[in-house]
Chain A
């Protein structure tokens, strides 16, 4: 059992507490989902349970945390290791050795367990997670998802009673994410391990959880049984910036409209049961989305091949055109060639064969710097972007590289600072800002150039809901002004809501290319939640290319 009483924590030198007067009891065997906006205190909460706070992160502590009867003030993470296992966000940064067996042995070795016991525990952990096939592979050859499973196995080998997973899926693709989450669910279900999971995407896990805790500003704002709090505290939860799964959003709206009484469906199946009666009564026609023809082409790709040195072909004979003002999502499995394709659009990669033409310029004949005037590229991690001493300089960097004159540079800086609400940070050190602010600075520094084509490589991965919807609304608007927006992403729900067109890549080829309605509906696993929900009601005349909550509501009005 975990017992937290009147716990308040200030990181060393911080003025505001990271955790404020927390009172919490977690019983053995519970599956607890902890969510909330970034910097809301989620990670701090987890770190106080295994003693990293205050033993690793010093600071001011009041109150107490007891784990299985041990006070964490007196017991350090090393001592708690056999009771509390901790999995972190980035699988890369929690592996210590270079092979699977040794990695799993690491914790046991530290505790000076005898060799035969270590051997048994390695066997056990590999089997429990079903990853014995990986045992002789070198760690550096494994994918992110596989590495994360090794990290879980290496913690599991210590036989912890409590498992804490701190955003374990934010660096993973959807399929691996699903696998990692179902492992967490199984460990809870079959072995009775208490699981505390931090996540900001509720739709993947909500049905497995017993309890939902929402942290905002270091305080617990909502705490209770999942189904109950989703029903009773809907406003508080979404008010804290938590993204509700589409089905729950729909149920809530329907309740407000008086169409159903809220039964809070947690799965697509429950959602179908809820809608059964509704659709039996009403059937309508969804207004046809007007299909836009292709405008003047911004990007023309002709018979493009790309082969990495010493590697297989990453792109095989890709031809396509993307028009001005289009909002295109590029989707596909990992290593399907998404990133390779978009890196051709700003000249980071040159075609091995074939051609890429950007607004009439062949990328083979232009430098990256020349193309940078037209094509802006936002990469996933803002920490890779930021290096200047002030936010202002950071934004001016690209402008100066392009040789703009000082007056122009200054006015553009002022313009984007205003647009991204960064005025007050103008003279601050960009790397010291919060995650969301850093993201805005990186985006602003790219947009100051006013690129006619904007490419974003997985910008929403691991991003909290509020920021994500802000960014997407902005991109929608940017495309509306006649610019081309290209989004590389795994996030089906976001694409369903904001994009126009979807390009699905597989094995270096374009598998499907078309309007999002055609691509995302009736696809087996690629469909958004709402589409999977309505497909069953085609027999009542419900159009089966509905993708979002708003469209369902529109239909029912």
Chain B
């Protein structure tokens, strides 16, 4: 089983200041939303790969992407059948559905789904890097520094801490119920839902008990003692970190400039727009690729500086 937990592998990416990673992922995230042109989005997706490889989290990443891939597949299929825009007909259903009319399948609708999926994959890939390379407690500290309320951040962090415990609970309880002759995949839908209750009820009530116990333990260790609270660890920004942080926002600035120049747009409907890039566009794309690609060498350089 691949664990979806943070593990300190000590790579340059792991060592990189969380704010820099947050900044970079924010850039990717925003750009993936503002660019419609699939070429631009593809570039963003490719830009996440060097970090995944450098951080040596590709196995974890792959299992997340596998899940994301199935999600995308369903998006493509549903979109293709529901959307009736587009002018190139692939197939038309021989029957009619009241109100909606006869379902049609168009080239444009299929490719629109593909484009959207690419966007989603890019965003998921970027966030996967965050999850696998930032210690959850550091992420919590970073969030607090960004002025999010401590209690909400703590609750979120506690929740992530207990996900693996919850998975263990599910396994244990389903062992118990299967030993009592429960067959999860037999019978009609209603029967199946009902048999799931044999697992869900113990799971939920055990979790409730757990919550009370944690609350007790926290209270006994002076949780909520006063307004003030120290944070033993700090996420500090050194001068080098600030430099990298600025670089991490560079792609975002570039992207906004490109959008202002009228680049990165794309129309799927009613007919697919032809992708033709001019000299300036190639130049800007290369610049964007360069600014995105800076992150990995900068992280490695930073690690070396820290070692010296």
* A50 contact set on B, CB distance < 8 A: 220
The listed residue with most A CB atoms (<10 A of its CB), out of B1, B181, B230, is: B181
B276 part of interface (Cβ distance < 8 Å): no
A346 touches B179 (CB 8 A): yes
Give the docked Cα–Cα distance between A140 and B167 (Å): 13
B85 part of interface (Cβ distance < 8 Å): no
Contact with B along A301-342 (1 / 0, CB 8 A): 000000001100000000000000000000000000000000
* B221 contact set on A, CB distance < 8 A: 81, 96, 106-107, 110, 154-155, 158
B308 part of interface (Cβ distance < 8 Å): no
Give the docked Cα–Cα distance between A118 and B2 (Å): 35
User: Which of A189-197, A366-374, A466-474 has 4 or more CB atoms under 8 Å from chain B?
Assistant: A366-374
User: Which of A58-66, A380-388, A513-521 has 4 or more CB atoms under 8 Å from chain B?
Assistant: A380-388
* A346 contact set on B, CB distance < 8 A: 179
* B5 contact set on A, CB distance < 8 A: 138, 140
A112 part of interface (Cβ distance < 8 Å): yes
A110 touches B232 (CB 8 A): no
B183 touches A113 (CB 8 A): no
A397 touches B183 (CB 8 A): no
Q: Is the interface of B mostly helix, strand, loop or mixed?
A: helix
Give the docked Cα–Cα distance between A109 and B206 (Å): 29
* A377 contact set on B, CB distance < 8 A: 176, 179
B137 touches A387 (CB 8 A): no
B181 touches A372 (CB 8 A): yes
User: How many whole Å from B280's CB to the nearest CB in chain A?
Assistant: 48
Q: 8 Å CB contacts to A: which residues of B154-212?
A: 154, 157-158, 161, 164-165, 169, 172-173, 175-183, 197-202, 205-206, 209-210
A88 touches B216 (CB 8 A): yes
* B219 contact set on A, CB distance < 8 A: 52, 55-56, 76-78
* A176 contact set on B, CB distance < 8 A: none
Interface size class of B (residues with CB under 8 A): 35 or more
* A402 contact set on B, CB distance < 8 A: 181
B181 touches A82 (CB 8 A): no
A13 part of interface (Cβ distance < 8 Å): no
A398 touches B181 (CB 8 A): yes
Contact with B along A192-226 (1 / 0, CB 8 A): 00000000000000000000000000000000000
Give the docked Cα–Cα distance between A11 and B218 (Å): 21
Question: A52-B216, A52-B219, A96-B218 given as contacts; is B176 within 8 A of A384 (CB)?
Answer: yes
Give the docked Cα–Cα distance between A90 and B211 (Å): 12
Give the docked Cα–Cα distance between A94 and B202 (Å): 20
Give the docked Cα–Cα distance between A442 and B189 (Å): 27
User: Which of A97-105, A290-298, A481-489 has 4 or more CB atoms under 8 Å from chain B?
Assistant: A97-105
- Name the residue of chain A whose CB is nearest to the CB of B234: A115
Q: 8 Å CB contacts to A: which residues of B212-271?
A: 213-226, 228-233
B232 touches A108 (CB 8 A): yes
B303 part of interface (Cβ distance < 8 Å): no
A112 touches B230 (CB 8 A): yes
Interface size class of A (residues with CB under 8 A): 35 or more
- Name the residue of chain A whose CB is nearest to the CB of B231: A109
A383 touches B232 (CB 8 A): no
- Name the residue of chain A whose CB is nearest to the CB of B232: A105
Give the docked Cα–Cα distance between A449 and B232 (Å): 56
Give the docked Cα–Cα distance between A391 and B154 (Å): 39
Q: 8 Å CB contacts to B: which residues of A220-241?
A: none
Give the docked Cα–Cα distance between A107 and B219 (Å): 9
Give the docked Cα–Cα distance between A92 and B172 (Å): 15
A112 touches B135 (CB 8 A): no
Give 30 A-B contacts (CB < 8 Å), ordered by A residue: A52-B216, A56-B216, A76-B219, A78-B222, A78-B224, A78-B225, A79-B225, A86-B217, A92-B165, A92-B210, A93-B217, A95-B217, A96-B218, A99-B137, A101-B232, A105-B233, A106-B223, A107-B222, A109-B230, A110-B225, A110-B229, A343-B175, A346-B179, A348-B179, A383-B209, A384-B172, A387-B199, A398-B181, A401-B182, A446-B180
A residues adjacent to B (C-beta < 8 A): 50, 52, 55-56, 76-79, 81-82, 84-86, 88, 90, 92-99, 101-102, 105-115, 118-119, 122, 138, 140, 151, 154-155, 158, 309-310, 343, 346, 348, 367-369, 372-373, 375-377, 379, 383-387, 397-398, 401-402, 431, 445-446, 449
Further 17 A-B residue pairs, CB within 8 A, beyond A85-B220, A102-B137:
A50-B220, A55-B219, A56-B216, A84-B220, A94-B217, A102-B233, A112-B225, A112-B226, A112-B228, A346-B179, A348-B175, A348-B179, A369-B183, A376-B179, A383-B209, A387-B198, A397-B198
